[in-house]
Amino acid sequence: MFERLSTLTTAHLADACIRLGVEVRCAPSGLRPLVSGMRVAGRARPVRHVGSVDVFLEAISENCAGDVLVVDNGGRLDESCVGDIVALELQQAGFAGVLIWGLHRDTADLEQIGLPLFSLGAIPAGPRRLDPRPADAMTAARIGSVVATTMDLVVADEDGAIFLPLDRMTDIVLLAEKVRDRERGQAARMREGESFRAQVGFRGYLARRAAEPDFSFRAHLRAVGGAVEE
């Protein structure tokens, strides 16, 4: 299932969650990739930053190959918390990437390193504080309104980041593949000259809505198997 994620976008996964009744947990839209085209997927490895990199080194010391370090720095915009040294350490330990609810620095070096990195942006200054370490510093990370744990899979791409429950991963991936294939098929038919309106019988929908004002386009799409929204 992890390998099959490489052909799925976060949008496909979000649509699958909606259809399955799984809570859609997305990071806020301000979280962006360091470099356009970056993508990462893996089990979340949460850490709470309190002013020192030791929490990152502790996480790296565990057997986390293929994981994504999910850093909770409270969404702070006055300090960076990850730079080139931490990124290199993560890369050499086999981490798939890093997602930061906060800022990074050493952008030029990070681009050369190439480890997938998502953050709220960059600032030159590092932390000048050392706060008390909470008991759950290594077990939970808050990204906006989402709380990530090691029971989550995180996928991030150009559209943002989504957190998925590992125990529903198979169901989500299988349905997301169906969503992807249907949308690709619809797009291919449009390129051949058949409009989306024709594919889904839009005139028929308008006629039925005229007779049944409460009949929604979403219900029509479900009925004809052409759903592109939920």
- Cβ proximity of 166 and 151 under 8 Å: yes
Q: Is 85 annotated as a binding residue?
A: yes
Q: Is 83 annotated as a binding residue?
A: yes
Q: Is 86 annotated as a binding residue?
A: yes
CA dist 204 and 219 (Å) reads 13
Q: Is 78 annotated as a binding residue?
A: no
Alpha helices in 54-168 (DSSP H): 54-61, 84-92, 107-113
Adjacent-strand bridge partners of 103: 80
Tell me the three state secondary structure of residue 167: helix
Q: Is 84 annotated as a binding residue?
A: yes
- Cβ proximity of 32 and 116 under 8 Å: no
Q: Is 60 annotated as a binding residue?
A: no
In this structure, the strands spanning 117-119 and 25-26 are: unpaired
CA dist 149 and 45 (Å) reads 7
Q: Is 51 left (phi over 0), alpha (psi -120 to 50) or beta?
A: left
* Joined tokens for residue 227: 């759903």
How large is the angle between the packed helices 10-20 and 169-191, nearest 10 degrees?
120
Let me know how long the chain is: 230
Say which residue the tokens 């619809």 belong to.
Answer: 186
Binding site members for substrate: 83-86, 105
Binding site members for Mg(2+): 106
Binding site members: 83-86, 105-106
